[in-house]
Structure 1
Amino acid sequence: MTKIGIIIGSTRPGRLGPQVAGWVHDAAARRSDAEFAVVDLAEFRLPLFDQAVPPAMGGTGGPEAQAWARTVDAFDGFVFVTPEYNNQLPAALKNAIDFVCAGWADKAAGIVSYGGAGGTGSAAQLRQLCGLLGLADVPGQVSLHLATDFADFAVFAPSRSRARALDALLDHVVAWASALQPVRSARTASVA
C-alpha cells in the first residue's frame, strides 16, 4: 500500500505545526487508499548540516541523519506541513531536506502551509526544492492564515473550504505517489 509521511516542518517551542499535522492526519485516516503517518522533525534532533561529504556524493552523516534518511526512504510521498518565517522556509525543514538526496526522488509531495500570509513564501521555496530533488509536487496547496484559521492566532480552527482543499490535495498526493511507483521500482532495480 502507498505510504505517505506528514512532515511537521518546524521544531521550535510553541509551534502550531502539530495541530495542523493532526488535522491533516485525521482527514487522511478516513481514507483507505494509502497509509499515513505523522513525522515530527523535532524527534530527530538533526544537527545543523555539517557533513564533509554531502548525501548527493554518498555521505551518510551521523546516527540522527541516518535515522532521518531511513524514515524518508520508507515513504512513497509526503505532505509537508510548513510554517513561514519571514516569508521563508523554516531553517529546520530546509536543514532536514539537505540531509537526504536520493530518498526524495520520484515521490509525490503536497504542501500545507500556514502563516500571516498563508505560508505562500515558504511553499514557493519548497516547490523549488522539490523540483531540484526530483520530488513531484502536486498542483494546488492548502494555505492557512493565522488571522482566519487560528483562534487568537494560537488554536487551529480551519473552515470547511480548507477541509475540501485538503481532501483534493490528498487525492493528488496519493494518485501521484502511486503513479510514480514503477519509476521508483525501476530505479531501485537498476541500483541492485
Structure 2
Amino acid sequence: METNMSKPKIAIIIGSTRDSRFADKPAQWILEQAQARDDFDAELVDLKDFDLPLFNEVASNAWVPSQDPAAIAWQKKIGEFDGYLFVTAEYNHSITGALKNALDQSSVEWARKPMSAFGYGGLGAGRAVEHLRGIAVELQMAPVRNAIHLGGGEFFKVHPLGGVNAPMSDVAPALDGAVKATFDDLVWWANALKAARG
C-alpha cells in the first residue's frame, strides 16, 4: 500500500545520440521545470549512456527474454519509471533512429504507463511526436493529450544555428503553459495507472 501512495517517477528520455545534438539544452531545462514540482520525481535518462546495439533479439521481450546485456540494462532502467517524457528531435518527419531502436529494445517495461514528448525543431517536431504516439500505443503506453513543442522563432532563438543561442529562459513564456499541462497530464495518468497496475 505504501508503494502506491508514493509519488510517481517520470523519466525524461533524451532521444538523440549525435555528438552535435541540441537535445541537452532543452533536456536540462525541462528537468529543472520538473524538479520545481512536488507531485512527481523526475530523472534524466540519456540514450548515449546505454550504447544500445541495433535490435537483434529473436523477438520482443514481450515474448522471449532478451539476451544482449545492453538491452537488459536498458529494460531494467526503463522499468523503474511510472511514465515517460521523450525529448525528441525530428529527423525526416519522424523520430531519431536511436530513439526508435531504444523503443524496440523493450516492451513489457513500457506497458500501461503514460507518455508525452518535448519536441524541438523548425516545426516543433510535430510530425515526430505524432509518430512517437503511434509507436507508444503499440507498446501499450498511454499517450496523453498535451505535449511541448519548441519550434519556429523560439527554436531558432535558442539553437546555435539561429545565431543568437539564447538561454532557454528566453523562450520559457512561450512554453510554460504546455509544460504545466503536459506534466499535469503525466502525473494524473501515472497515478491512475500505477494504482491500476498495483
Same fold? TM cut 0.5: yes
Deviations 1:105-151 (A, max 9, x none): 11011111011211011101001011111101110211111642343
Determine the C-alpha separation between the residues in 2 that align with 1:61 and 1:41.
19
Return the structure number with greater strand share: 1
Determine the C-alpha separation between the residues in 1 that align with 2:158 and 2:86.
24
The structure-2 alpha-carbon separation of the partners of 1:150 and 1:22, relative to structure 1 and needing over 3 Å to count, comes to: farther
**Residue type at the aligned position of 2:8:** T
Aligned to 1:72: 78
Determine the C-alpha separation between the residues in 1 that align with 2:9 and 2:47.
18
Aligned to 1:8: 14
Aligned to 1:127: 133
For residue 38 of structure 1, give the secondary structure of its aligned residue in structure 2.
strand
- Written as runs of structure 1 = structure 2, the 5 A alignment for 1:88-99 is 88-99=94-105
Aligned to 1:101: 107
Give the superposition deviation at 1:49: 0.8
Aligned to 2:174: 161
Q: Which runs of 5+ in 2 are unaligned?
A: 1-6
Counterpart check, 1:32 vs 2:38: yes
Q: How many residues align?
A: 185
Q: Which runs of 5+ in 1 are unaligned?
A: 186-192
Percent identity over paired residues: 36
Counterpart check, 1:49 vs 2:62: no
Maintained 8 Å contact 2:9/2:83 = yes
Counterpart check, 1:174 vs 2:180: no
Determine the C-alpha separation between the residues in 1 that align with 2:146 and 2:121.
17
Give the superposition deviation at 1:63: 1.1
For residue 109 of structure 2, give the secondary structure of its aligned residue in structure 1.
helix
Q: CA RMSD in A?
A: 1.4
Aligned to 1:111: 117
Maintained 8 Å contact 2:58/2:64 = no
Counterpart check, 1:148 vs 2:154: yes
Give the superposition deviation at 1:12: 0.6
Give the superposition deviation at 1:74: 0.2
Maintained 8 Å contact 1:147/1:153 = no
Determine the C-alpha separation between the residues in 1 that align with 2:137 and 2:37.
28
Give the superposition deviation at 1:52: 2.1
For residue 10 of structure 2, give the secondary structure of its aligned residue in structure 1.
strand
Deviations 1:140-172 (A, max 9, x none): 211111642343632353240202211111111
- Find 1:23's aligned residue among 22, 29, 41: 29
Aligned to 1:136: 142
TM-score by length of 1: 0.91
Maintained 8 Å contact 2:146/2:185 = no
